[in-house]
Structure 1
Amino acid sequence: MAVRQWIEGWPVYRQLTGQDPLGRGAAVTSEHTRHLRARTEQADKVVRSICPYCAVGCGQKVYVKDGRVTQIEGDPDSPISRGRLCPKGSASKQLVTSPSRVTTVLYRRPHGTDWERIPLDRAMEMVADRVLATRRETWQDEEDGKVTRRTMGIASLGGATLDNEENYLMKKLYTAMGAVQIENQARI
């Protein structure tokens, strides 16, 4: 490459001699940067979501290509965060796509001494079966001649990281199951 070609290819030279004296457009654009494309351009679909980290509930746009998450950004249409995410929220993609993400559940059988890995689907089925069995075994239709229709065998203690919507849905779920001990850590 000749010296003259090198100088003319230099962004400062193009800025000072061209139509872009502030260096905000063509003067600072190289051949390489002209061919760059945003990762979000190639997404098959964009799914709106909520950041899972805290109770603020910042909106996220999740970009998906070929069934895999390619990028997660703040949702500018979110009235809560207006497109902004904290450092943890900005790193949400790692939560979803990390190769070290835990996808199994550790389970120790009753009276067992060792943990075994079981699939998440199986663990969810076990929890559902136990909830239904507990409800069935502890159900009270009436007590002292009064209609109660409740179970005293199930209780809920929500965490402070849950947002209002999640707590509302948990309250509805547990009330529908007949539980009466429904509390939240944030209120205690």
Structure 2
Amino acid sequence: MARITPLNWPAVRQLTSGDLFGRGPAVKSQVSEDLTARTVTADSMAHSVCPYCAVGCGQRVYTKDNKVIQIEGNPDSPHSRGRLCPKGAASEQLVNSPGRITEMLYRAPRSTKWEKLDLDTAMEMIADRFIEARRNHWREKDDQGRTLRHTLGIASLGGATIDNEENYLAKKLFTAAGAIQMENQARI
């Protein structure tokens, strides 16, 4: 580290360099000159969408060694133009939080503890329960003989953190399954 002398003070550099308002090189230190942005050292950058609300602000996700190192606003996004709210700007913490649960957890009925499941087992359990609820609550006709072909045993309550395409596919899935109770935060 260089030795600090009065000649290195920003005020002195301001007067001797002609940068009287202190908006140029006179106020830069050697430490700040030596810094490099995390985005420069990243291995790759991917375009993404902020996961928090229905606005869908564009994000640039920078990774290094298969780990997210920086998330920032995407200036090419037509509606957010590179800006993120405080939650969106802090979404890197969501990804890298040491408290983030990264495995399937299941608590059996009346159990007091969680157990770990692999993804295939969890998906099979969900599919089995979905099909059973549909089968047990299927209504082909009403009391007056009119065709219904629906179930009240399945409902969908979606959030606005998924985009329009995912909402469209969810709606098609539940409609095809015969569900008539579908609601989404984005519709309200």
Q: Normalised by the size of structure 1, how large is the TM-score?
A: 0.78
Alignment coverage as a number of residue pairs: 182
Question: Displacement, 1:175?
Answer: 2.1
**Any idea what SS the aligned residue of 1:99 has?**
coil
| 2:115 corresponds to which of 101, 114, 117 | 117
Within a 5 Å distance, the mapping from 1:29-178 to structure 2 comes to 29-110=28-109, 112-119=110-117, 121=119, 122-135=121-134, 143=141, 144=145, 150-159=150-159, 164-178=164-178
CA 1:37–1:119: 2 relative to 1, 3 Å: farther
Single out whichever of 129-138 and 7-16 deviates more from structure 2: 129-138
Note the C-alpha offset of 1:178: 3.4
Instruction: Tell me the residue number matched to 2:181.
Output: 181
* Offset at residue 105 of structure 1 (A): 4.2
Q: Sort the Cα spacing of 1:119 and 1:78 in 2 relative to 1 into closer, same or farther, 3 A.
A: farther
- Cα deviation, 1:128-155, whole Å, max 9, x if unaligned, reads 3322444466667x54585x66544322
Residues 43, 63 of structure 2: 8 Å contact kept: yes
Contact kept, 8 Å, 2:13 with 2:26, in 1: the verdict is yes
- Percent identity of equivalent pairs: 59
Equivalent position SS for 1:42: coil
Across the aligned residues of Structure 1 and Structure 2, the Cα RMSD in angstroms comes to 2.9
- Residue 41 of structure 1 and its aligned partner are, at CA, apart by 0.5
TM-score normalized by the length of structure 2: 0.78
**5+ residue gaps, structure 2:** none
Report if aligned partners of 2:54, 2:186 keep a CA contact under 8 Å in 1.
no
Q: Following TM superposition, by how much is the alpha carbon of 1:163 offset from its aligned partner in structure 2, in angstroms? A: 5.3
5+ residue gaps, structure 1, are none
| 1:15 partner SS | helix
Structure 2 residue identity aligned to 1:87: P
Shift of 1:67: 0.6
* Distance across 1 between alignment mates of 2:19 and 2:169: 56
Aligned counterparts of 1:117 and 1:103: Cα–Cα separation in 2: 13
Cα distance in structure 1, aligned partners of 2:50 and 2:118: 22
